Amino acid sequence: MTSVVIADDHAFFRSGLESALCSAGYDVVASVSDGEGALDAVARTSPDVVILDVRMPGMDGISTLEKLRRQGCKGEVIMLAAEFEDHALMGAIRAGANAIVNKNGAENRLFDALTAVRKGGRFIDSDYLERFIEISKNESMPAGGPKMSERERFIADNVAQGFRNREIAEKLGVSEALVKLYLHRLYTRLGIKNRTELAIMMRELA
């Protein structure tokens, strides 16, 4: 059973989300109202998934996520918001969010996101996907598109398809460490922060 921590300062929304998750077979191990509570809950329970509202009193969702990653949190993180400003959208992804979901009508989309991240993939709500692509292109796309070697493009294409580093390494017959090295070089050259941004970029180019 997948364990989940919820952090959202709206008690009514939080209660409804907890009920929906439990009904769907998820184990909600903690439900808290702020970032500090989320940090404590994750430290105590080591959940598989953390669901964070981007706007919370005190420490907001992005700051909480950044601190979770610095503290070694390996769980998937889903960020929720009724609306993401551009800086918050990019900030959440660069901080290491595995999924971005619109809180308006969130239940079905949230379950889609949960399914995706538990399979090692990424999820960006359709409400935000086009805007994310446009921002990414403006900020990081080199003129004429990214320049890649044949192997780099193979790795990037597989990342876009949701394959993990280990699976890509097996396809190439190389070590997982070498795949990570290629990805690090790609991130640096393309001015991006993580595999989510790389995947979106490659899908846009397809």
pLDDT in tens, 70-125: 888 889 999 998 776 777 777 887 788 888 888 876 678 899 899 988 888 778 88
Q: Across the chain, what does the average pLDDT equal?
A: 85
The reported pTM is: 0.67
Whether residues 114 and 187 share a domain: the answer is no
Taking the alpha carbons at both ends of the chain, their separation in whole angstroms is 36
Range of the domain at 186: 142-205
Whether residues 44 and 104 share a domain: the answer is yes
* Domain count of the fold of the chain: 2
How high is the pLDDT of residue 130?
65
Whether residues 38 and 99 share a domain: the answer is yes
In this prediction, the residues of the chain whose per-residue pLDDT falls under 70 are: 84, 105-106, 127, 129-147, 206
* Nearest alpha-carbon partner for 198 in 148, 127, 144: 148
Q: Which of 84, 105, 135 is the last residue of a domain?
A: 135
How high is the pLDDT of residue 143?
47
Whether residues 147 and 130 share a domain: the answer is no
Measured torsion, CA atoms of residues 125, 126, 127, 130, in degrees rounded to the nearest 10: 120
How high is the pLDDT of residue 11?
93
